[in-house]
Amino acid sequence: MNAHQRALFLITLAQGGLGACRIFLGDVFGGAYALMLATLGYNSRFPGPAANWLKTYILITFINGTVGTVDLIQNLLLGNFPILSPALPLQLNIAHLIQVSVPFMSFSGALIGWAFISAQKEYMAKYTYEQSKPPPLNPHLPWPPPALPAPEVMEHMTSIGFSSGNSLLYFRHVRAIVNCVNAN
């Protein structure tokens, strides 16, 4: 699962970088949205209460990738396809690069998040299976267990007013009585 966490870290880092670039290019709302989405993905990669946010991150990232793809196709059909060229200004090249890379980053984030959830489910199924197995027998314990003390011993214990709450005294008492019975 560490590989999934590392991959999710890298993809959210890339999404956050794209969001920061969008803010610097003037798209404050879109950049802030991308930064919040990257923060959600970054925080959801750790176990604990934030792990429930991973499903939300996957859903929103998939929707973001779908909308980015539709935007890219729309620009392609309108003849306004983003072109990377040294003849164009740097800001325009960066804006076109962001427009092309958002769907790929978003779908990659959704895919990595989905793989991470699948790995978590597989781990929990294995853990539950291991916990449901009966514990192995301890070879140092006698089997079958030793018999209970004889009825005379039990009568003697009740006659001296032994209470069941004092278990240490009980075991010392039983040991002493069993030693006496074994000596005879």
Name the residue among 107, 114, 29 with its Cα closest to residue 64: 107
The structure tokens listed for 150 are 């004889």
In the predicted structure, residue 61 carries a pLDDT above the cut 90: yes
Helix (H, G, I), strand (E, B) or coil at 44: coil
Confidence band of 23 (pLDDT split at 50, 70, 90)? very high
Give the side-chain half-sphere CA count within 13 A for 13: 6
Q: Which two tokens stand for residue 79?
A: 């003849």
**Is-contact 85 93, C-beta < 8 A?**
yes
pLDDT digit string, tens, across residues 104-127: 999 999 999 999 988 888 888 887
For tokens 């690069």, the residue is 97
167 pLDDT tier (thresholds 50, 70, 90) = low
Predicted structure pTM score: 0.65
End-to-end, the C-alpha distance of the chain in Å comes to 64
Cβ proximity of 61 and 18 under 8 Å: no
